[in-house]
Amino acid sequence: MSARKKIVAISSGGGHWIELLRLRPAFKGHFVVYVTVNEAYRAHIGNAPLRVIRDVTRWDRFGLLEVTAQITRILLQERPDVIVSTGALPGFFGVLIGKRLGAKTIWVDSLANVEELSMSGQKIGPHADLWLTQWAELARPQGPHFVGNVLGSEA
């Protein structure tokens, strides 16, 4: 057994959040801080800490600045060993900033991106230490890689 790690798990709402929750068994034995856009999601994660950030689209410039500041503040306070995200934009910033702060980063592109990676998913490649797609057809030798999906399907 290795030491207990601190993980920041970050996503936007809806399907991205559901997929992030599906990854929870992978976090077992470690300390997880969840970061998402909706206070109501607290109900899904028991006693784990939740930090709420602003919900933005990539066209909302002021919102992008604010959410970037929020995520930076959270990551500076939490100092996670690992950042994991299922998208979309908040996760993109989380991985980007976290990488610069020395965390190991994981990007799992959403199952909903069937025929091509999300825009965030394409651009995040160089910043993700573990860069995954949930579709074998989208895997490339240099990443993203495919090992399975959040439903538990075999590679």
Contacts to other proteins by CB under 8 A:
2, 5, 7, 14-15, 18, 22-28, 30, 81-82, 84, 104, 106, 108, 110-112, 114-115, 129-130, 132, 134-135, 147-155
Give the shortest CB-78-to-other proteins separation in angstroms.
Answer: 15
Nearer to other proteins, 38 or 72 (CB): 38
Report the alpha-carbon distance of residue 128 to residue 132 in Å, rounded: 9
On the question of a cis peptide bond just before residue 25, with omega within 30 degrees of 0, the verdict is: no
Q: Closest approach of Cβ 3 to other proteins, in Å?
A: 9
Which are the contacts of 119, defined by CB distance < 8 A and separation ≥ 6?
Answer: 58
Nearer to other proteins, 21 or 64 (CB): 21
| Residue 29: CB minimum distance to other proteins, A | 9
Q: Which is nearer to other proteins, 70 or 133 (CB)?
A: 133
- Shorter beta-carbon distance to other proteins: residue 45 or 135: 135
End-to-end CA distance of the chain: 26
Q: How far is CA 147 from CA 17, 110, 132, 144, in A?
A: 20, 14, 8, 10
Q: How far is the CB of 111 from other proteins (least distance, A)?
A: 6
Sole residue written with tokens 């996760």: 91
